[in-house]
């Protein structure tokens, strides 16, 4: 299955390719951007490249990976947002997003995540991915991200140490 590429009023979410490595590596080398991602450290160019290659592999297998978020007007790369299959104690689909610092505070994360979520829940008959349930995990101190999820209708389930080996706050939303 070809992976769809959602668009929103201001953004185009595009499937990852190697031309995104350099701009994303620049955005994700920032300590402030990465402090609530994984173990909280900036990513090297090699780490970004490995993730993009993994995403391209998932897409080739008909599975989604975080889209590269671009500004529709200019095509500039702003970050990533999307849904990705995860497997900790069961198969789940995770919604995630991360934008370069200069793009914060303009509603872009909400817009990108909403476009990703709509595509994730839409049925294959309307060009969507047809998932029933999405999860998201945040550090409890990441109030902007918790706010984004709340605006998208996610429910805070509670703390869990199941994801990524760190105690984090689990959110979920069902299609509907
Ligand atoms: C989290 C992140 C994606 C938010 O991006 P953004 O484009 O600024 O988000 P939006 O503008 O769409 O929405 C942010 C919301 O949080 C609110 N907010 C910002 N700072 C806040 C704070 N300290 N406490 C509570 N709410 C806060 C904003 O007011 C806004 O809500 P509103 O629309 O009701 O006013 C961005 O900060 C980011 O990329 N952070 C680094 C990566 C990251 O943490 N990703 C999420 C991992 S779970």
**Could you tell me which residues come within 8 angstroms of residue 105 by beta carbon, excluding any fewer than 6 positions away?**
none
- % of residues, the chain, pLDDT over 70: 100
Which residue has its alpha carbon closest to ligand 1 atom 33? 107
Average pLDDT, the chain: 97
The alpha carbon torsion through 129, 93, 103, 53 (nearest 10 deg) reads -80
Contact 99, 79 (CB under 8 A): yes
Q: Is the pLDDT of residue 1 over 80?
A: no
* Mutate-to-test residue for ligand 1 from 147, 154, 164, 168, highest number of ligand atoms within 8 A of CB: 147
Burial of 122 (0-12, 13-18, 19+ CB in 10 A): middle
Note the maximum CA span of the chain.
41
Q: What was the pLDDT predicted at 61?
A: 96
Answer yes or no: is pLDDT of 176 > 90.
no
Residue whose CB lies within 8 A of the most ligand 1 atoms, among 100, 144, 146, for a mutation test: 144
Distance from Cα 149 to the centre of ligand 1, integer Å? 9
Give, using CA atoms, the residue closest to atom 45 of ligand 1.
98
CB burial readout 131-166, b (16+ within 10 A) else e: beebbbbbbeebeebbebbeebebeeeeeeeebeee
Q: What pLDDT sits at residue 165?
A: 87
pLDDT at 37 over 80: yes
Residue-wise pLDDT for 67-99, tens only, equals: 999 999 999 999 999 999 999 989 999 999 999
pLDDT digits (tens, 9 = 90+) for 93-131: 999 999 999 999 999 999 999 999 999 999 989 999 999
Find the mean pLDDT for residues 143-150: 98
Closest CA to 135 of 96, 103, 89, 101: 96
What is the share, in percent, of the chain residues with pLDDT greater than 90? Answer: 93
């Amino acid at each position: 299955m070809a992976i769809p590429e959602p668009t929103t009023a201001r953004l185009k979410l595009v499937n990852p390719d190697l031309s995104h490595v350099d701009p994303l590596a620049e955005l994700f080398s920032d300590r402030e951007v990465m402090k609530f991602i994984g173990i909280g450290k900036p990513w090297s160019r090699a780490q970004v490249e490995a993730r993009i290659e993994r995403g391209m592999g998932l897409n080739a297998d008909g599975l989604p990976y975080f889209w590269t978020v671009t500004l529709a007007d200019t095509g500039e790369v702003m970050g990533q947002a999307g849904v990705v299959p995860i497997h900790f104690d069961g198969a789940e689909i995770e919604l995630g997003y991360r934008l370069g610092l200069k793009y914060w505070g303009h509603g872009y994360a909400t817009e990108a995540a909403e476009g990703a979520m709509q595509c994730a829940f839409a049925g294959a008959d309307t060009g969507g991915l047809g998932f029933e349930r999405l999860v998201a995990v945040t550090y409890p101190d990441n109030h902007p991200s918790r706010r984004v999820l709340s605006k998208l209708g996610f429910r805070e389930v509670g703390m869990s140490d199941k994801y990524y080996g760190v105690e984090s706050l689990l959110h979920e939303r069902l299609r509907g």
